[in-house]
Amino acid sequence: AQSVTQLDSQVPVFEEAPVELRCNYSSSVSVYLFWYVQYPNQGLQLLLKYLSGSTLVKGINGFEAEFNKSQTSFHLRKPSVHISDTAEYFCAVSGSGGYQKVTFGTGTKLQVIP
């Protein structure tokens, strides 16, 4: 079984400030990790993914995340946020085998304040 915990349901941050959205996971097997973004009334868009290799993963829109196996974390960061980053962000985990069930966290709403 696998699970994802997003510790913050809402994160307000001023424009051009840095932000970190926290994600912790649990799994009994090797995992793939993902961050998705969802804008209002839209589907999910993949920001970045960790499959293997370098633990620092860079994604779209200036976001990056670091996989920390010992702390079972995959926190999302951006050095300077824009108003357009206001959205809900979901961390997700799947097993690294052929079965692609993806387990999502409950989401973090990022509100960028002008």
Partner 1 sequence: ETGVTQSPTHLIKTRGQQVTLRCSSQSGHNTVSWYQQALGQGPQFIFQYYREEENGRGNFPPRFSGLQFPNYSSELNVNALELDDSALYLCASSLGMDRGRYEQYFGPGTRLTVT
Residues that bind partner 1 (CB under 8 A): 4, 32, 36, 42-46, 49, 51, 90, 92, 94, 96, 98-107
**Distance between CA atoms of residues 6 and 82, nearest Å:** 22
**Distance between CA atoms of residues 58 and 8, nearest Å:** 22
**Distance between CA atoms of residues 102 and 93, nearest Å:** 6
